[in-house]
Amino acid sequence: MGDRLLHARLFMRMPKLPPIRCHPLTPDRWDDFETLFGPRGACGGCWCMLWRLQRSEFERNKGERNRQAMRDLVDNGVSPGILAYRKRDPIGWCALAPRADYPALARSRILKPIDDQPVWSVSCLFVHKDHRKQGVSVALLRAATDFVRKQGGTVVEGYPVLPKKAEMPAVFAWTGIASAFLEAGFHEAARPAEHRPIMRCVVEKG
C-alpha cells in the first residue's frame, strides 16, 4: 500500500508535458529541421539520405552534400518526412516516402518486399535526447499514417528492431522500436530476421 501511495504522489508531482504537434517538412520548416539535426546531420553527416542514395555516393556526400541533397528535395516540393514539436521546439523526425524512393531497400537482403502492394516506408525515427521515452515516436508514426492517407496511399511499412535488452543505445534504434509501431496501430506483417520485424499499418481512407 505504501509503495503504491508513494508512486501516486510522485506521478502527481511530475510536470505535465506540452502536447506533441506534427507537421510535414516543407521549405518554411527547414530551419527547424536543421536545428533538430544539428551540425552532425543527426548522426555522422547522414541528414537522412542513407536510404535515398547508393552506398558509395552516400559515403562521398557525408556532411554538407547530404544536407544540400535533402534541402533540394524539400525546395522541389517533396515532403520527405514529419517533424514533431513541443510548443515551438522541434523535438523529433520521421522519414517517410514511397518504398521506391529508397534504393537501399532494393539492395537489402532482409527487407525485401513481402508482396506486390505499393507501400510507403518509414526509414528513420530520430528524437531529441531530452524528449525520448515520452511518446514522440508514437505521435510521429500516427502522423505518418495520416500523411500517407492524404497522399492517397494505403499501406505504411516500417522496419524497427526488437531490442535484445530493455535498454538499447539510440544509435542502434534509428529505424524505431517495434513496441512504438504496435502502439501506433501497426501490426507485424513478416519476420525476416529474429530481431527485425516488418510492421504494417493499413490506412483507412477518410
pLDDT tens string 97-145: 999 999 999 889 999 999 999 999 999 999 999 999 999 999 999 999 9
CA nearest to 67, candidates 97, 28, 36: 36
Q: What pLDDT does 59 receive?
A: 94
Q: What pLDDT does 205 receive?
A: 75
* Pairing between β-strand 89-98 and β-strand 120-127 as defined by DSSP bridges: antiparallel
Q: What is the pTM of this model?
A: 0.89
More confident residue, 205 or 63: 63
Q: How confident is the model at residue 170 (pLDDT cuts 50, 70, 90)?
A: low
Specify the range with the lowest mean pLDDT, choosing from 14-18, 36-40, 57-61, 181-185: 14-18
Report CA torsion sign: 191, 108, 57, 116: negative
Instruction: Give dist(CA 125, CA 134) in Å, integer.
Output: 14
Is the CB of residue 45 less than 8 Å from the CB of residue 62?
yes
Could you give the angle at the alpha carbon of 126 between the alpha carbons of 158 and 204, nearest 5°?
Answer: 40
Specify the range with the lowest mean pLDDT, choosing from 15-24, 49-58, 110-119: 15-24
Q: What pLDDT does 200 receive?
A: 98
* E-assigned strand segments in 5-113: 20-24, 81-86, 89-98
Q: How confident is the model at residue 202 (pLDDT cuts 50, 70, 90)?
A: very high
Residue 8: pLDDT above 60? no
CATH code for the structural domain at 19-202? 3.40.630.30
Half-sphere exposure of 75 (CA within 13 A, CB side): 7
Q: What is the mean pLDDT of the chain?
A: 90
Among all chains, which residue has been given the C-alpha cell 527547414?
Answer: 30
Q: Domain ranges in the chain?
A: 19-202
Q: Max Cα separation, the chain?
A: 60
